Amino acid sequence: MDHDVLIVGAGPVGLALALALKDTGLKILVADARAEEAAANDPRTLALSHGTRISLEQLGMWSNLPSTPITTIHVSQQGGFGRTMIRAEEEGVPALGHVVTAGALARALRARIDTPTVGFAYCTEVATHRSDTEAITLSLTPAGASPQTCTARLLACAEGGLTGSGSGVIERDYTQTALIGFVKAAGGHRNTAFERFTPEGPLALLPCDDGYALVHVVSSARAEHLRNLADTAYLSEIQRHLGGRVRLTEVGSRLAYPLMLRYRKATTTARTVWLGNAAQTLHPVAGQGFNLALRDVLALSQRLLRHTGDPGDPALLADYQRQRRLDRGGTIGFTDTLVRLFSSDLAPLRHLRGVGLFALDTVPPLRSFVARRMMFGARAWP
């Protein structure tokens, strides 16, 4: 079997690349080690920026995506002064972002890929054998079957997490774990998101359906204890962090995800490109992971659309990596700095954070700069 592009990972990132390339005439295969329904049932929530909404609209699949808009973001810190409010109306946009589940996004993307030039291989492991000047030779191993050899002119590794180590991979263990779940609040969410920085890590409430998606970052040493608390006890714990800003009334079960920063210095090599979590795994603070991944996907697909030749051309991949360096490096640095700046209870840092939040709240141009970075990335352009 010969393919122009082999995409490893049928999650939102891999599916977005397949959708962006589906009308290019390239022969594309999307392979995933999981079953077909795995991505569609992913319960994790994603905060899609306004820039991501524009991109998904251009891909023709926004109207069928169930989402909840964020019109206001309230940012504060526990145990210190200072808070800021970022409002969509001040930025001239209908919403700063939207909240969706990863499963709903995957289903909507998959439904738009309706061309015979894109094939799917689920429950299939992919292994690379060798790369030469013309193609990469790989083996595809369906569950319970013998390996099949195939070639691809471009291998796009999307989702699945970053594997490997060495000088080409930078990593930092935050010794934190994210507890995710769903909570309800008295009076509803009013399309307001809360980002509350605590000494252990950020606590985010993202408006979702008729409640909030909860992302509660805690020390890894306490994560299992908190995850297994009775609902009433856990509700009291997060209410203590939030103070009186929101009155929570109900909380469901929690899932736990260890957090660390891992990213590849280079996102391309011979006939291979890494995207999404396969390129960088970010802390969930400010919700930038998928937004960055989609900007990478669209930048790559635009080059392939213009190139019309060999999709694995080394010059094309080098140009793509060079053009994405500023946004990628800026977003990685932005999230990492937030984590380190706001995950300390030292008095000087607490006061410095308070001054920063106060400045954001009282200086509209500064607040707008931060808002546009969150909506459109390091270049802050739509």
Could you report the per-residue pLDDT of 115-165, keeping only the tens digit for each?
A: 889 999 999 999 877 888 889 999 999 998 999 999 999 999 997 655 555
For the chain, what percentages of helix, strand and coil (3-state, to nearest 5) are there? 35, 35, 30
Asked if the model's pLDDT at residue 306 lies above 80, the reply is yes
Q: Measure the CA–CA gap between 324 and 332, rounded to whole angstroms.
A: 12
Under 8 Å CB-to-CB from 359, ≥6 apart: which residues? 366
Report the distance separating Cα 307 and Cα 313, nearest Å: 9
pLDDT in tens, 193-239: 999 988 888 999 999 999 999 999 999 999 999 999 999 999 999 99
Encoding tokens for residue 295?
């900007």
pLDDT digits (tens, 9 = 90+) for 321-339: 999 999 999 999 989 988 8
At residue 329, what is the residue type? G
Residue closest to 344 by CA, chosen among 147, 127, 134, 77? 77
Q: Which helix (H) or strand (E) holds 99?
A: strand 97-101
Whole-number Å distance between alpha carbons of 87 and 74: 9
Q: Which domains does the chain have, with CATH numbers?
A: 2-45+100-167+262-339 (3.50.50.60), 173-259 (3.30.9.10)
pTM above 0.95, yes or no: no
Structure-token pair, residue 157: 């590794």
The pLDDT of residue 316? 96
Pairing of strands 148-158, 192-198: unpaired
Partners of 45 in the beta sheet?
A: 101
Q: Helix (H, G, I), strand (E, B), or coil: what is residue 42?
A: coil
Burial class (CB in 10 A: 0-12, 13-18, 19+), 240: exposed
Which residues share a beta bridge with 121? 31
* Tokens linked to 59: 């891909």
- In the numeric block, which tokens belong to residue 367? 């607040």
Q: Residue 105 carries which side chain, given as an amino acid letter? A: L
Half-sphere exposure of residue 286, counting CA atoms within 13 Å on the CB side? 23
State mean pLDDT over 344-350. 68
The dihedral over CA atoms of 298, 300, 302, 308, expressed in degrees to the nearest 10, equals -150
Residue 100 region, left (φ>0) first, then alpha (ψ -120 to 50), else beta?
A: beta
Q: Residue 340: which pLDDT band, with cuts at 50, 70 and 90? A: confident
- H or E element that contains 153: strand 148-158
Mean pLDDT of 347-359: 73
d(CA 11, CA 35): 11
Query: Quick check: 348 pLDDT over 80?
Result: no
Q: Assign 381 a pLDDT band (cuts: 50, 70, 90).
A: very low
Question: Is residue 311 predicted with pLDDT exceeding 70?
Answer: yes
The two structure tokens encoding residue 258: 């260890």
Q: What are phi and psi of 68, to 5 degrees?
A: -120, 120
Query: Could you tell me the maximum CA-CA distance found in the chain, to the nearest angstrom?
Result: 64
Q: Which of 136, 91, 84, 93 is nearest to 368 (CA)?
A: 91
SS3 93: coil
Residue 382: the pLDDT is 44
Shortest CA distance to 68 belongs to which of 97, 40, 94, 41?
97
